[in-house]
Structure 1
């Protein structure tokens, strides 16, 4: 996963964190943002590249701005909080075979 995949993951983590902080279910947020269920779930899961329109709709539903969400996601990357699926899989493999 390249930088884009890392950013997708970070945006998904940030959107989920803000949704939970707002006390909203996934369904409440995708309804407010007027997004299809499967699209929203893939966005929050970091499995889909988010469009500007989708990020704007989600930000509005969360009563924040796209800039705030994007900046927070980039900060998560800078702090090393976001790992790619490949990195997580490699860690799991190392743990399974006892290689540290």
Structure 2
């Protein structure tokens, strides 16, 4: 073989090595991209689930607040029916007249 052929074979060998290395890097990048996509899908599912839980908790909180308002209204109505004024007003009975326990 001539020197020129040896040089061309050496260059070709370097090109092949370079292409192999580039292919290996591309395969690693593709695997990392697939893993990232998988993690993104899991994260999106988690976000959807957490949003659903948050919505359910917000609805439960609103329902509890509505029940508290209704209970407060019934307490005030019961107090008025018993002749008591709202808490802190002058019409409240003295401690001796107030029943020991209200249900």
Give the TM-score taking structure 2 as reference length. Answer: 0.28
**Structure with more relative contact order (C-alpha pairs < 8 Å, separation 6 or more):** 1
Superposition TM-score, scaled by structure 1 size: 0.29
